[in-house]
Amino acid sequence: MSMGIISVIAIAVWFVAIQEFLKPERKQSNRKIVVFTSAGSLLTLVLTFSLFQNIWL
């Protein structure tokens, strides 16, 4: 159940990051891009680690 919630949050974070990338360059916030990309990467890493842990069990 918790992996499902983390998955939904990861999808939402990546969606927001992509929306920020699609803005014109003058309106982009570098801080938001760094924060959302870092959060998305961390959540993706957690999901990947959990997947491999379930495969090996």
Q: Residue 56 has which token pair?
A: 């090996």
Q: Looking only at Cα atoms, what is the longest distance across the chain?
A: 49
pLDDT at 1 over 80: no
What's the pLDDT at 54?
Answer: 84
How many Å apart are CA 40 and CA 42, to the nearest integer?
Answer: 5
pLDDT single digits (tens) 10-51: 999 999 999 999 999 999 999 999 999 999 999 999 999 999
| CB 17 within 8 Å of CB 43 | no
Angle between helical axes of 2-22 and 30-56 (0-180°, round to 10): 150
> Domain map of the chain by residue range?
2-56
